[in-house]
Structure 1
């Protein structure tokens, strides 16, 4: 006779139930299941797993991993739920291991460090740390999750001081495939894993706690300005100059964006800028502040408000591709020109105009590379040191309402990035090797971009800490080291 559980629970949930996690399992018929699926930022990620398991501790994560591995059950790992491509953090006909309840922010005043759960979001992290007058070198957008952001490197407002955000992590608590819970630090038995987690994604285990250094908090100055399209050449010159001179003003950040953004009136370009020391209208931004404006909302405010300015609306199908280029005005102008062409195609093909597109140009000065090594002498696996000079990270994005439109628009975004790459390849050093994981499409060769030595380090750590290949075979989401040709 069938058991009561087998009559109500799918077979994928049975190993979890047998391992004592029945109360943590959400089924497709549960309201909480529907709420968790709906809470994914991007519609592309709203797949239908057979069940969701929501552990409340590292020990319960361990129970779930052991159960799934023993049953050879396919699973996905969700932290904040912001990664946009299908299958990155969710799964069809499998189990989604949802870390959303591991979302604590615990400040240690004695050591001025903070322990962060992977399921937290940066807006909540900053809210809690503000009570103590502290903050971390974390995310630049309010709804991005802690886990995926840090495991992908994490571009931060403080990169001029510390490099990417992962360099401010001083310890990782990790659940391995065999159920062990270990702490990886810069020194000790797991120093190789500590290094590999700084950019290596989910190839090794599940991080259940990040320990980070904190820094003094306080007000910031910042906001965004919308410009008419004819300022693009001057804006591009401003990007190049700002990137070249970044070392003269470490507290100021900016990005320049060309886009079709209905919430801002359609075809526009804009500057997003801030100063983390609350210096109003800093000298390094004068070229941008002098540009003609349709509006701006620059002011002295909180970090929590500043991180809302780059937020994109939820419930679209989002397509992202990325490329890192030399800090060269001609390449940036070419990308802006190609975006204009793509936006016209999108406008012609989407009659109700309910879409958004943009190309963002974000400075990646060589100083970021140098600061990464100063802040993190144990290293990382990002391979930023391959960059030979100042660079610009390009994020090309389109947001549409349906899966059919996503399939139609995706080749257009890919073509834009490919054409920029082809143009830049005609300029000496025009294309930089490194690719930012958190902006990459699933088809892009991210881990390869880290360079052969870092690929070797990731591979060795993956097989050392997961010799059975559980996170390679059973967890298809993310950029997998096993997919790379040796």
Structure 2
């Protein structure tokens, strides 16, 4: 790095220097430090750690964990840096372990599996697999990192057919709190294998994922834009679609009632995909009736192309919350109404072109949970879901920190308004909270159900008895308060 001696003057870095990792450290005076910070998707996550460690090998990660635990230094772990939650993948004044350099991707034709490091993003995985005419159940937005996505469950274009992204992982390599590197599969460390399927960053640092793949090279899909006057029609279309997912498991639909700064108005967005590449799937019959201001749907698209079309704006201050709603027109209509009122509130404080909002509806049919059982199960708690749901996400992306503080309170109040309405209509709000869309004030792991939470705590006690990943690695959604490092 630019100023090696300065690393020794940084207390948080001293243990890493002693462990022989000085060559992989950067501090605020170094260009590599700023490059790492600037590469986070959301400005909300661009905290200022005392130093950043950029390990080049799995052994470097192991040495770092041993050193940090011995010195009782707090740290964060960053994979793709896409999660916008403050402190989930970065830490102010501590040590951030940036896994970006663990970015190898290897496809094995004999096993039809792909192995990759946590530093890659989904578009890179798709690009490599396209050479072999294979798909994998990964992120729908190409710039999303693989690590947090898979450890949080991972909803994909393939969920109705393959289960969640985590259900397609067949092997993990993980560095435990004591620095030991182990391989985790359905047959080796089976308890930890299941815990990692939705249990987030509570057990160690995952340094490699191996996933099963599927044949395929091109999809049918694209994005549509419809005038806001047709919000009611769009809501009826997505509820109809959700009911019919079991009949058309290769078709996916995401609906957004969004404020679009380019038109300075609310519009209805649809993201449509048919993973076999089939055009005119009956699944989209109701959606096809909506008038379109824009329509990019086409055959012969790559996963990379589709990921670019669904990309969110980066380098903004992001607020997002999530709820799981019943697949019911009443509650979805209320959510859209609350979103539109939120836009009016934001306009009173923020210039019209300075923000983006999203009121997203994503089908959560019972078949999603059922698909997970065949692969050994996960900890998400959806296997016994009694009715179809909708993953609802309310986002606000602002240009400045001041605007974001204003927006956060307004978005949070909007969520409470929707929950209050749900209280007047029995059964329209479900308990489950999708971890990858949750705000830090929410409790997604608690929503997995008491038995799954109990299981996760037992596994954490077994593999991390001192609670390192509950306390020294404080970011993200924790299982419990640790003991030794409180």
Q: Which residue is equivalent to 1:262?
A: 261
Aligned to 2:370: 370
Mapping of residues 186-197 of structure 1, within 5 Å? 186-188=186-188, 190-197=189-196
Q: C-alpha separation between the residues in 2 aligned to 1:61 and 1:18?
A: 14
CA apart distance, 1:483: 4.5
Match of 1:425 in 2: 423
Q: Secondary structure at the match of 1:341?
A: helix
| Partner residue in 2 for 1:127 | 127
1:315-360 deviation digits (Å, cap 9, x = unpaired): 1000010000110001000000001100011111113530011100
Secondary structure of the corresponding residue to residue 309 of structure 2: coil
Question: Could you tell me which residue of structure 1 aligns to residue 229 of structure 2?
Answer: 230
Alignment check: 8 A CA contact 1:119 1:146 kept: yes
The answer for the alignment partner of 1:397 in structure 2 is 395
Q: Secondary structure at the match of 2:166?
A: helix
Q: Is the 8 Å Cα contact of residues 387 and 433 (structure 1) preserved in structure 2? A: no
Deviations 1:92-131 (Å, cap 9, x if unpaired)? 1110001011122111111111111111100111001111
- Report the 3-state secondary structure (helix = DSSP H, G, I; strand = E; otherwise coil) of the residue aligned with 1:410: helix
1:443 alignment partner, one of 419, 441, 456: 441
Structure 1 CA distance for aligned equivalents of residues 9 and 132 of structure 2: 45
Q: CA deviation at 1:141?
A: 0.4
Q: Which residue of 1 aligns with 2:202?
A: 203
Q: What are the equivalent positions in structure 2 for 1:308-457 lying under 5 Å apart?
A: 308-374=308-374, 376-377=375-376, 379-457=377-455
Contact 1:9–1:27 at 8 Å: present in 2 too? no
- Are residues 1:12 and 2:12 paired? yes
Contact 2:320 2:393 in 1 (8 A): yes
**Corresponding position: 1:182 with 2:182:** yes
Measure how far apart 1:264 and its partner are: 5.1
Aligned equivalent of 1:56: 56
Equivalent position of 2:472 in the other structure: 474
For residues 211-247 of structure 1, the C-alpha deviation after alignment (integer angstroms, 9 at most, x for no partner) is 1001112111111111011111111111111000111
How far apart are residue 281 of structure 1 and its match?
Answer: 2.3
Structure-1 separation of matches of 2:6 and 2:149:
37
Once residues 145 and 136 of structure 2 are traced to their aligned partners in structure 1, the CA distance between those partners, rounded to angstroms, is 14
- 1:347/1:353 contact within 8 Å kept: no
Moved more, 399-408 or 324-333: 399-408
Cα distance in 1 for residues equivalent to 2:7 and 2:347 = 50
Q: Is the 8 A contact 1:75 1:95 kept in 2?
A: yes
Q: Secondary structure of the residue that 1:194 maps to in structure 2?
A: helix
* Contact 2:220–2:297, Cα closer than 8 Å, also in 1: yes
Is the 8 Å Cα contact of residues 463 and 469 (structure 1) preserved in structure 2? yes
* CA shift for structure 1 position 262: 1.2
1:447 and 1:479 in contact (8 A); partners too: yes
Q: 2:369 & 2:355 partners in 1: Cα distance?
A: 36
**2:95 & 2:338 partners in 1: Cα distance?**
41
Match of 1:170 in 2: 170
C-alpha displacement of 1:429? 2.1
Matched, 1:249 2:255: no
Q: Distance between the aligned counterparts of 1:119 and 1:429, measured in 2? A: 41
Deviation, 1:410, is 0.6
Please say if residues 386 and 433 of structure 1, whose CA atoms lie closer than 8 Å, have aligned partners that are also in contact.
no
TM-superposed CA distance for 1:402, in Å, is 1.4
Helix, strand or coil at the partner of 2:128: helix
Q: Tell me what 2:148 maps to.
A: 148
Query: How far did residue 475 of structure 1 move?
Result: 0.6
Judged with a 3 Å threshold, the aligned counterparts in structure 2 of structure 1 residues 296 and 264 are, in CA distance, closer, same or farther, namely farther
Moved over 3 A (4+): 4-9
Name the counterpart of 1:137.
137
Structure 1 gaps of 5+ residues are none
In the aligned structure 2, how far is the partner of 1:263 from the partner of 1:387? 39
TM-score, normalization: structure 1?
0.96
**2-side partners of 1:240 and 1:474: how far apart?**
43
1:386 Cα deviation from its structure 2 partner: 4.7
Listed as ranges, the gaps of 5+ residues in structure 2 are none
Query: Given the alignment of the two structures, is residue 274 of structure 1 paired with residue 280 of structure 2, yes or no?
Result: no
Q: How many residues align?
A: 478
CA distance in 2, matches of 1:165, 1:357: 26
Residues 104 and 242 of structure 1: is their aligned pair in 2 closer, same or farther, counting only changes over 3 Å? Answer: same
Residues 76-115 of structure 1 mapped to structure 2, 5 A cutoff: 76-115=76-115
Taking the aligned partners of 2:165 and 2:319, their CA distance within structure 1 comes to: 24
SS across alignment from 2:354 = coil
- The change in CA–CA distance for 1:238 and 1:198 in structure 2 (over 3 A counts) is same
Verify the 8 A CA contact 2:7 2:13 in the aligned structure 1.
Answer: no
Relative distance call for 1:387 and 1:425 in structure 2 (3 A) is farther
TM-score, scaled relative to structure 2: 0.96
Offset of 1:468 from its aligned partner? 1.2
Distance 1:183 1:138 in 2: 21
Q: Which moved more, 1:393-402 or 1:426-435?
A: 426-435
2-side partners of 1:113 and 1:355: how far apart?
A: 41
Give the C-alpha shift of residue 43 in structure 1. Answer: 0.3
1:426 deviation in Å? 2.7
